[in-house]
Chains A and B, each alone.
Chain A
Amino acid sequence: MQLIEMDGVGIKRQGRWLIQNVTLSVKAGEIVTLIGPNGAGKSTTAKTALGVLKADAGKIKRKPNLKVGYVPQKLAVDWTMPLTVRRLMSLTAKPSKIEIDRVLEKTGISHLIDSNVQQLSGGEYQRALLARAILRSPDLLVLDEPVQGVDYSGEIALYNLILKIREELNCGILLISHDLHVVMAQTDTVVCLNGHVCCSGAPEHVAASDAYKQLFGDAASQSLAIYHHHHDHSHKADGTIVPSKGDSGDCCNHG
């Protein structure tokens, strides 16, 4: 059963298409990773999938009563609002004390339960946000750059945590990474976005490059893989599409 299916979806703001002709779907237990440069429309795509933005073109099908957990890209809690980690957990739901304890333990921040969220480090805060999102045992987890502000070793730990969550909850995960190259090996589908879907498919489809293993070491390449693909086109500075020679299997062709 597909949790969500986007078919040819476009979002238009002030006469400009932020995203256009985006087609993707997320199944239960599947991790779909959106990658692409800044301004490619990754967050816009995620928000459209969530229904926060209404599509101006295309169709979106959601499983009825789809329960969503969301970690937004920017969630800065104003310092004027006193908010502890414990209170953050019950922001949109009413979890029991035991449920809160369990989820904090799972994400490894039990000791921070009474800390103010404004005082957490980048990694601790991302873990808290992740804990909050999975507390509702969602069908679909949407994570918009969940490793921002986290150092490299923390990044791997967080990605492993996300994998563990996927196994335990069997939820679909729509993951956004701003890093074009670093994508989890366990990602099922990679969608490369640049205003439209440039390329999508299983990461095994595209070979892991030696440059990455050299850069991060063999250990890291166990949990990380690169998504190396050849575009059948390139983008000019203004976003116009320039076709290039050579073609790769599941990439789209622009007329």
Chain B
Amino acid sequence: MDDFILRAMLAGIGLALVSGPLGCFVVWRRMAYFGDTMSHSALLGVALAFLLNINLMVGVLGVTVTVSLCLLILQKRGSLSTDALLGLLSHSALALGMVLIAFMSSVRFDLLSLLFGDILAVGNEDVIAIYVCAAVILGLMYFLWRPLLASTVNRELAEAEGFNPDLTQLVFMVMMAAIIAIAMKIVGVLLITALLIIPAATARWFARTPEQMAIASSIIGVASVILGLEGSLQFDSASGPSIVVASLCLFLLSLFASRLINGVLGKERGQ
């Protein structure tokens, strides 16, 4: 296996391990559009990183965290509905990013690879960054699992019974921002949310508890990354869309499988 493929595989697998459980929360909390908003604003982060000459991931992390804090503050003021606010933030950040990029004529941008991922761009330091980030996020998830889950089920109940939902939400948002920063090179800005949602949705068919769903979602995510990157090499397609198409195939497959299993079970029960 070539070095760059190995790096991409490693990076992708690390990413999928985290996006599994995090994606479950995105699905449970109905935050798909929120994920989109954060990932679209990543483009502004990239532009700022070039402008200020700082690390790409740091730039993206900074902007996505800022955008999610803006959302929290605007939500508290309660003048606009959440989906309108998300639309406002998402597209403003995307547009600002594009305009900034246009201003910087000295830097050459490969916009397509930013939008849809480019495994050739994954360097050794990226792989390390991904695994460090993944370890931190998974560790946080492990320790915060109960409060995170409780405040997802019912925020007020969690608060009444001694948790701090505001804090857990903040940590959750930072984790989302971090995963967007590390996912950008592999799946691209436009498709990150798909990697969060589709494996989680697939896992839903097989899971009986939230924990099972989170673990299954990780496994399905890893399979999607492996299949997708193989496909990307085979057909010379962009890595992001290939991974998403692979996860979609797994979703459809599981849809049929669960229908079949339920059908068989139903028949057995009938007899």
A residues at B contact (CB < 8 Å)? 14, 47, 50-52, 68-70, 72, 75, 77-78, 80-84, 87, 91-94, 116, 136, 142
Contacts and interface: CB of A to CB of B under 8 A. Distances in A.
A70 B28 contact: no
Contacts of B152: 81
A84 B30 contact: no
A52 B159 contact: yes
14 contacts: A50-B160, A68-B160, A68-B162, A69-B161, A72-B156, A75-B157, A77-B153, A80-B204, A82-B204, A83-B209, A84-B209, A92-B150, A92-B161, A136-B161
Contact of B162 (A14, A82, A92): A92
A92 B209 contact: no
A75 B209 contact: no
> Which 4 pairs, one residue from A and one from B, show the smallest C-beta to C-beta distance?
A50-B160, A70-B160, A92-B161, A82-B207
Given A51-B159, A78-B30, A116-B208, 10 more contacts: A50-B160, A68-B161, A78-B28, A81-B213, A84-B209, A91-B146, A91-B157, A92-B146, A92-B158, A93-B161
A82 B158 CA distance: 18
Contacts of A69: 161
A11 B207 CA distance: 42
Contacts of A87: 209-210
Given A82-B209, A82-B213, A72 B159 contact: no
Given A51-B159, A52-B159, A142-B160, A72 B154 contact: yes
B156 A91 contact: no
B160 A52 contact: yes
Nearest to A91: B150
Contacts of B212: 82
B28 A84 contact: no
Nearest to A142: B160
A81 B156 contact: no
B37 to A, nearest CB: 20
Interface in B176-208: 201, 204, 207-208
Nearest to B200: A80
A87 B201 CA distance: 20
B142 to A, nearest CB: 14
A139 to B, nearest CB: 12
Nearest to B201: A80
Contacts of A68: 160-162
Interface string B125-165: 00000000000000000000010011011101111111100
Output the residue of B27, B156, B163, B209 with the most chain A CB within 10 A. B156
A50 to B, nearest CB: 4
A204 to B, nearest CB: 31
